[in-house]
Structure 1
Amino acid sequence: MHRIAVLGNGRVGRPLAAALTRAGHRVSVAGRTPGEAADNAREADVIVNATPGHDTLERLTALREELRGKVLVDLANATVDGPDGLPTALLHPGSSLAEQLQEALPDTHVVKTLNTMLYPVMTAPALLAQPPTAFLSGESAEAKQLVRGILADLGWRPDWISDLGGIETARATEAAVLFVPAVIRSSGFAPFAVSIAR
C-alpha cells in the first residue's frame, strides 16, 4: 500500500484515483489550487501527474521541495493543440516532458508511463480486444519496479509492461500522441492503445 497523491482531477485523474483506492492505496486528489497540490504531494510517497501537459512543467517545478526523494509517475503529453483540442505538435521537440521534469527535479524519480493510450485503458487494460502495452521510461530501476506494482494493481499483466530504459526513451512514447487525432477522426472516440506485438 502506498500513499499516492494524484495531481489533476479531470477525466484522467478522477478514475485513476478511484481505481487506486479500490486497489487498497491511500489516495488523495488535488485540483488546480497550488496549495492543495503542495499539501497532497507533501503527504504522499508517490505522486501521479495527471495535469494537462502544456503547463505541467511550471506546476511541478513549483513543488520541488514537496517532490524531493519521491517517485513522480508522469502520464502527461505536452502538446500544441489545434482548434478541436486535439494535438498537432509536441511542445518539447527533440526532448520530452519527462526529460524536462527530470532535469528540473533532479532529486525526484520521474517515471513515464500510461501516456500511449486513451485514458479509459489506463485503469481497465483488459477491455481491449488485444493486449495493450504500458511503457516505462526512467532512470531509477527501483522507482520503475514500484510503478510496475502500481500498474499491476490497475490490471496490467507483467507481459503487458515494457521497460524501455532511461528517461530519454520517453521521447518516443510522447511522440505517439501524434497518432491520436488521426485515429479518433477515423474510428471515433473509442478506447485504444499502442501495443507491441511479438
Structure 2
Amino acid sequence: MTTIAVLGNGRVGGGLADGLSRAGHQVTVADRTPGSADAAIGAAHVVINATPGAGSLERLSALRAPLRGKILLDVSNATIDGPDGLPADLVYQGPSLAERLQAALPETQVIKTLNTMLYSVMTAPASLEQPPTVFLSGEDPSAKQIVRRLLGDLGWRPEWITDLGGIETARAAEAAILFVPHVIRSGGFAPFAVSIAR
C-alpha cells in the first residue's frame, strides 16, 4: 500500500483517486480549502498533480516545503484553450511544465505520465480496442519503479509502459495534447490514447 495525495478533485483527480483506492492504496484528495494541500501532502509518499496545468507551476511552487522528498506524479497539461474550449496551444514553449516543476522543486522527484490520453483511459486502459501506451519521463529510477507499480495497479500492463528517459523528454509527451482537439473533432468525445506500434 502506498500513501497518495491527489491535488485536484475534477474528473482526472477524482478518477485517479477512485482507481487507486480500489487498488488498495490510502488516498487523500486535497480540495481548495486553506491548508488542505499541505495536510494531504504531509502524510503522503506520492503526490499526484491533477490541477489545471496552466496554474500548476505557481500552485506547486508554493508547496515546495511539504513536497520535499516526495514523488510528484504530474499528469497535467498546460494549455491555452481555443474558442471551443479545447486545447489550442501550449502555455510553455521550450521547457515543459514537468521540466519547470522539477526546476522549481529540486528536492522532489517529478515523474510525468498519463497525460497523453482521455482521462477515462487512465484507470481503464484495457477498455480500448488496441493496446495503449503510457509514457514515463523523469530523473529518478526508483521513483519511476514506484510509478510503474501504481500504473500496474490501474491496469497498465508492463509492455504498455514506455520510459522515454529524463525529465526533458516530457516536452514531447506534453506536446501530444495538440492532437487532442483534432481527434475529438474527427471522432467525438470517445476514449482514446496515444499508442506506439512496434
TM-score normalised to the size of structure 2?
A: 0.99
Distance in 2 (alpha carbons) for counterparts of 1:88 and 1:154: 29
1:110-189 to 2 correspondences below 5 Å: 110-189=110-189
| Inter-CA distance 167–40: structure 2 relative to 1 (3 Å threshold) | same
Structure 1 counterpart of 2:5, which letter? A
Match of 1:67 in 2: 67
Stretches of structure 2 that go unaligned for 5 or more consecutive residues are none
Match of 1:40 in 2: 40
Q: What is the percent sequence identity of the aligned residues?
A: 70
SS of structure 2 residue aligned to 1:181: helix
Moved over 3 A (4+): none
Distance in 1 (alpha carbons) for counterparts of 2:45 and 2:37: 14
Over residues 61-101 of structure 1, what are the superposed CA-to-partner deviations in whole Å (9 max), with x where a residue is unaligned?
11101100110000001011112211111111111000000
TM-score normalised to the size of structure 1?
A: 0.99
Distance in 1 (alpha carbons) for counterparts of 2:64 and 2:95: 21
Over residues 92-111 of structure 1, what are the superposed CA-to-partner deviations in whole Å (9 max), with x where a residue is unaligned?
11110000000000000000
Answering whether residue 36 of structure 2 is matched by residue 12 of structure 1, we say: no
SS of structure 1 residue aligned to 2:179: helix
Structure 1 counterpart of 2:77, which letter? N
SS of structure 1 residue aligned to 2:9: coil
Distance in 2 (alpha carbons) for counterparts of 1:92 and 1:102: 14
Distance in 1 (alpha carbons) for counterparts of 2:158 and 2:126: 13
Distance in 2 (alpha carbons) for counterparts of 1:61 and 1:25: 26
CA shift, 1:125, in A, is 0.1
Match of 2:95 in 1: 95
Stretches of structure 1 that go unaligned for 5 or more consecutive residues are none
Over residues 98-135 of structure 1, what are the superposed CA-to-partner deviations in whole Å (9 max), with x where a residue is unaligned?
00000000000000000000000000000000000010
Distance in 1 (alpha carbons) for counterparts of 2:34 and 2:71: 19
Distance in 2 (alpha carbons) for counterparts of 1:197 and 1:6: 32
SS of structure 1 residue aligned to 2:35: helix
SS of structure 2 residue aligned to 1:12: helix
CA shift, 1:34, in A, is 4.4
| Inter-CA distance 81–15: structure 2 relative to 1 (3 Å threshold) | same
- After superposition, the CA RMSD in angstroms is 0.7
